[in-house]
Amino acid sequence: MLIDSFLSDFVADVDSILRKQFNKQLFYPKKDDQYRLLKLRVWSERHKVSIAYILSVLIPHFERIAYKHSRRPREKVSKGIGTTIPILTGSTAESFLVEQILKDFPDNENVISWREEKRDECLRKISQEDDVATRKPKSVLDYTSLAAFRKAYIARIHNTQSTEEKLAKQIAKQPWRDNPWR
C-alpha cells in the first residue's frame, strides 16, 4: 500500500535524525507506533517547524524527566529515545512543544521563514518550466556601449520583478491550504 511505503520512509527519516543528532535510534517500532510517529509530521506542518527541531525539543525534555524519576546515573546513556512513542507523540508533548515554539520564535519567525521557503520553491519550479527565465542573459560584450547594457539590465530586472508580482497575485488567489502567499 502507498501509506505503508510512505510510513516506512518517514520512520526511516526520523530514525536517521535520531542517529545523527542524538546518537539514539528507534528499535523496531510496532505498526501502531509507526502510525503514531506520523503525528510528528502533522505537528511539523501545523506549527511550521522541522521534524529535527521537534525532536531536539522533545527528546532532551523527556530524558530529563526519565533521569529525574529513575535511579540511573546520568553518565549511563541509553541508545533508545528515553521514552515511549505514545508519550513522545501525546497531547502533553504537543503542548510542551507549542510552549517551546513560542519561546524560541516569539514573533512567528518560523512561519515567516516557512513562507519564504515555500514562495522561493514555487517560483523556482515555475521558472524552471518557463524557457524565458532559464535563458542566459547577454553579456556586457554583446552591447555597443555600457549605457545600452545598463538600460537592458534595468529593463530585465523590472520585467522579472513585475512578473514575480503578477505571479504572486495570481497564486494568492489559489484556494489551497497553507498557501504561502495568503
Distances, alpha carbon 57 to alpha carbons 13, 81, 98, 101, 107, in Å: 17, 12, 10, 9, 19
User: Is the distance from CB of 147 to CB of 138 less than 8 angstroms?
Assistant: no
pLDDT in tens, 53-102: 999 999 888 888 776 766 666 555 566 777 788 888 899 999 999 999 99
Domain assignment of residue 137, yes or no:
yes
Structural domain including 123 reads 109-172
- The mean predicted confidence, pLDDT, of the chain is 81
Domain assignment of residue 132, yes or no:
yes
Are residue 65 and residue 131 in the same domain, yes or no? no
- Taking residues 162-175, report their average pLDDT: 75
134 pLDDT tier (thresholds 50, 70, 90): low
For cell 515511549, name the residue.
84
182 pLDDT tier (thresholds 50, 70, 90): low
User: Is the distance from CB of 110 to CB of 47 less than 8 angstroms?
Assistant: yes
Are residue 18 and residue 99 in the same domain, yes or no? yes
Q: How much is the pLDDT for 97?
A: 93
The total of structural domains in the chain comes to 2
Whether the CA torsion 6, 12, 14, 16 is positive or negative: it is negative
Helices (H), the chain: 2-17, 31-47, 51-69, 85-88, 91-104, 109-129, 131-134, 146-172
- Taking residues 14-19, report their average pLDDT: 86
Q: pLDDT higher for 74 or 145?
A: 145
Q: pLDDT higher for 37 or 78?
A: 37
Residue among 49, 52, 55, 48 nearest 89 (CA): 55
> Model pTM greater than 0.75?
no
- Taking residues 16-25, report their average pLDDT: 85
Q: How much is the pLDDT for 5?
A: 77
Q: How much is the pLDDT for 83?
A: 79
Are residue 12 and residue 49 in the same domain, yes or no? yes
- For residues 111 and 47, give the distance between their C-alpha atoms in angstroms, rounded to a whole number: 8
Q: Where among 104, 136, 163 does a domain terminate?
A: 104
